Amino acid sequence: MERPSRQRQREQASEKESDGEVVCPECDSENIITDADQGELVCDDCGLVLDERQIDRGPEWRAFNHSERQSKSRVGAPITETMHDRGLTTTIDWKDKDAYGRSLSSEKRSQMHRLRKWQERIRTKDAGERNLQFALSEIDRMASALGVPRSVREVASVIYRRALNEDLIRGRSIEGVATSALYAACRQEGIPRSLDEVAEVSRVPQKEIGRTYRYISQELGLELKPVDPKQFVPRFASALNLSEEVQAKATEIIDVSAEQGLLSGKSPTGFAAAAIYAASLLCNEKKTQREVADVAQVTEVTIRNRYQEQIEAMGFR
């Protein structure tokens, strides 16, 4: 059988690339990389160059730091779910300077002030958009106070919008649904934040947050796994200035206890706090129950009860 020519191989590769699947015709590998400097499409396994004249879809300018990139960029910010209009409306700057950095005259300043005022007014066309704007600003405020990444804010905004479209907010407070959406986003993204921590930065009671969270998660079909106590260990250990050895020991204690079914029905924060307390004693980096309880925001009684169960599970008396 005649071996296909290099040109035929390139045609086959381009056909597969157009279908969304790039496979090397030489070794059938799917490990294809793009060399942006040379403009080539290369197989990472055998080194075959699949395409050597790729179009550079990036900007024509170069920048070596963030300020250069900002000054040379001619596009706006990407679409975001954290703003009620998804960031597509115009924003008038408050610096009172023109494009060349020169200060505006008093007449121009008063004109720009009026433009800004009307711009803010027309961004929301009705009460529904104003309520959405308020809810998303609440999510952003609470997310900043909790120190969670931007991805969590985006997910929380999407969950709130879904609840709004499903008409789940009727009869409930906007703050309560917004807080529940943020708590659900933290759990969905694997960012350990307890209900107590979320309630601290919220303006609604913890009981209402829990009730609303259960309702929207059930109605929206959010598949959220139970919170793993091991997710809290690094944060609590860091706040207590404990070593990596203590963290590893606490993780081991949690794993052994969970295998024996002790985790069922227990608070993950209390379970993690007790494991850290036990690990600190075993590693000679003793911390008091009061110190651990303050960091984990649980009671000393909870730590004592979970500590006894964990010690028995580990085989210590």
E strands, the chain, where?
32-35, 40-43, 49-51
Q: Is 46 annotated as a binding residue?
A: yes
List CB contacts of 307: < 8 A, sequence separation 6 or more: 274, 277, 278
Place of tokens 């309560």: 176
Q: Is 283 annotated as a binding residue?
A: no
Helical H segments across 62-105, by residue range: 66-72
Q: Is 24 annotated as a binding residue?
A: yes
d(CA 239, CA 234): 9
On the 0-12 / 13-18 / 19+ scale of CB atoms within 10 A, 53 is: exposed
Share of the chain residues as helix, strand and coil, in percent rounded to the nearest 5: 55, 5, 40
**Dihedral in degrees, nearest 10, Cα atoms 167, 156, 197, 287:** 150
Positions at the binding site for Zn(2+): 24, 27, 43, 46
- Binding positions: 24, 27, 43, 46
